[in-house]
Homo-oligomer: A and B are copies of this chain.
Amino acid sequence: MTATPQFVPSDIEIAQQARLRTITAVAADLGLAPDDIDQYGRYKAKLPLALASQPPKGRLVLVTAISPTPAGEGKSTVSVGLSQAFRRLGHNAVLCMREPSLGPVFGVKGGAAGGGYAQVLPMDDINLHFTGDFHAIASAHSLLSAMLDNHLYHGNALGLDVKRITWPRTIDMNDRALRQAIIGVGAGNGVMREERWVIIPASEVMAIVALASDAEDLEQRLGNIIVGTTSGKERTPVRARDLQATGAMSLLLKDALRPNLVQTLEGGPAILHAGPFGNIAHGCNSLVATRAGLALADIVVTEAGFGSDLGAEKFFDIKCRAGGLNPEAAVLVATVRSLKMQGGLPKNMLDQEDLGALERGLPHLAHHITNVRQFGVPVVVAINRRLSDTDAELTMVADYAAKYGVRVALCDVWANGGAGGEALAHEVLALLDSKSAEFRPLYDTERPIREKIETIAAKVYGADGVDYSPAAEKSIAWLEQHGMGNTPVCMAKTQYSLSDDASKLGVPTNFRMTVQEVSGSAGAGFVVAKCGDIMTMPGLSKSPAAERMKVRPDGTIEGLS
């Protein structure tokens, strides 16, 4: 274990001081010639899509986490640091992650590409327009919106029920005022109707780009998108294909479907591609990115959104199933601080040693370990070390994990980069070498929608049962009647609790879930079951990060972090 320094510069300072390798040099490490890639500036490139169809040679490692708390777990930072550590140990490893959305960058976060000495670079480009993927996805989504309203305006030959249009508009911005609107106001300006905007990670086109296996599959999925239903008793789905929008949408997405190559702070390859939400979508980087990584590298480190109850479950049941992926090991990230919060300690007391709170929080860790293991994937716990952690606390976590037959590795990649992740890398290598993985999804997609929901609720969340709103029951019947009965289920619930009640920390028991709304993402290929309100268009705070951003006279930037 390397020593944790008392002072680490800010993320942006570290990023700006880094000496980047040219992207052609990074690509060369993966056996790619300059002509194999398309450069976007000196430090970004698009990879060829064909890589995603090549046979995998790498082994797939998932980084997941316990349920997120305000204490911070650092899953992305550990993912970056672990890939850095593998390279330090001489392995040809590649990192696969999601691309960040602009909305949160200008809202609260000010950036999202790891942190400290475990970052992905060029940080500013990645946090701004990057290679334009999200803009292309927004364009394709918006074109479908425009063609839909244009169809209504020109006579509505498909007989769409204007009150039952489900396709929203989208923008990559935190824009509260667009959550609910009336459009088509005024003479000659189309059909007046209600509309809502979702932020781009919530767009079904984002989920489609993330799950498509190639250009043909992309087009097929785009065509399947359900935009609404016909009027009257029939309520037949109306699809993007019926609006003849599929070809033009594919055209807009032809480059966005190609994975992006960048680098970690230590110059190793990182493939960043797509970024669907982890609640109403499956929360993973694209399938083509992961497959390209597996074709190019010996070890692929990837991550999934939120805790293992949301991200890992969807990674396994939706992404791995769709893409025929075979995950061979998982890393479960936790911090002592966040385990103490799960044990009931308030945020302002996390700096003090509290073995009681930690002990009460450890069953939460156990629950996530069990979650991952039931998919047949072996797991190692990564304790993302913080300065306030005491030896007694760390020992308690290690002893507890030992009871579960799970190894614990400390890491401090934030402060020490790849060197701080070597212990973890060794543990992961041991898991991979054990060849103990026997990956299997949790449920059979051919089972009824309710049964699939109830399987996830019981086995992953620990719920005693599931209740359905009348609207949800009606939707389930309609979806099963219209060919959506045999897809995976994408559960949308709070990320802060294993249950559907954000206030219940630790391991909630004796609870039932309530599914309030069910909808079909027919293009993405899953049914979304919403337990509670899910925010699909964030707002800006009273003092958003955007107010503190600027370009300095020398061209460097300020305010991203």
Contacts and interface: CB of A to CB of B under 8 A. Distances in A.
A544 B191 CA distance: 18
Contact of A551 (B139, B171, B215, B558): B215
A190 B177 contact: yes
Interface string A245-262: 111101110110000000
A226 to B, nearest CB: 19
B173 A183 contact: no
B176 A247 contact: no
A149 B171 CA distance: 15
A539 B553 CA distance: 41
Contacts of A216: 553
Nearest to A253: B551
Given A39-B41, A143-B106, A539-B150, A550 B251 contact: yes
Interface string A26-64: 000000000000111110001000000000000000000
Contacts of A188: 176
Contact of A540 (B106, B150, B183, B550): B150
Contacts of A219: 551
Given A153-B539, A177-B153, A550 B247 contact: yes
Interface in A353-405: none
A174 B189 contact: no
A559 B251 contact: yes
Contacts of A527: none
B177 A549 contact: no
A298 interface: no
A392 to B, nearest CB: 45
Contact of A185 (B182, B544, B549): B182
A250 B190 contact: no
A contacts with B: majority SS = mixed
A178 interface: yes
A496 to B, nearest CB: 20
B106 A248 contact: yes
Interface stretch (A127-135, A263-271, A335-343, A486-494): A127-135
B175 A191 contact: no
A330 to B, nearest CB: 36
A546 B245 CA distance: 7
Contact of A189 (B171, B180, B193): B180
Contacts of A39: 38-41
A514 to B, nearest CB: 22
A179 interface: yes
Given A129-B132, A147-B540, A551-B219, A46 B38 contact: no
Interface in A412-442: none
Nearest to A142: B173
A220 interface: no
Contacts of A324: none
A38 to B, nearest CB: 4
Nearest to A548: B247
A255 B106 contact: no
A334 to B, nearest CB: 33
A127 to B, nearest CB: 9
A547 to B, nearest CB: 4
Given A132-B132, A254-B555, A176 B189 contact: yes
A204 to B, nearest CB: 18
Given A142-B173, A146-B173, A147-B544, 20 more contacts: A124-B251, A128-B254, A129-B139, A139-B173, A146-B176, A147-B547, A150-B542, A150-B544, A153-B176, A153-B539, A179-B186, A181-B182, A181-B184, A216-B553, A247-B548, A247-B549, A247-B559, A248-B546, A251-B549, A254-B555
Top 9 A-B pairs, shortest CB-CB distance:
A247-B550, A135-B135, A177-B190, A248-B546, A149-B177, A180-B186, A244-B547, A180-B185, A38-B41
20 contacts: A38-B41, A124-B251, A129-B255, A132-B135, A135-B138, A139-B173, A143-B173, A146-B175, A147-B540, A149-B177, A153-B539, A176-B189, A177-B183, A180-B185, A181-B181, A182-B182, A245-B547, A247-B550, A250-B550, A250-B551
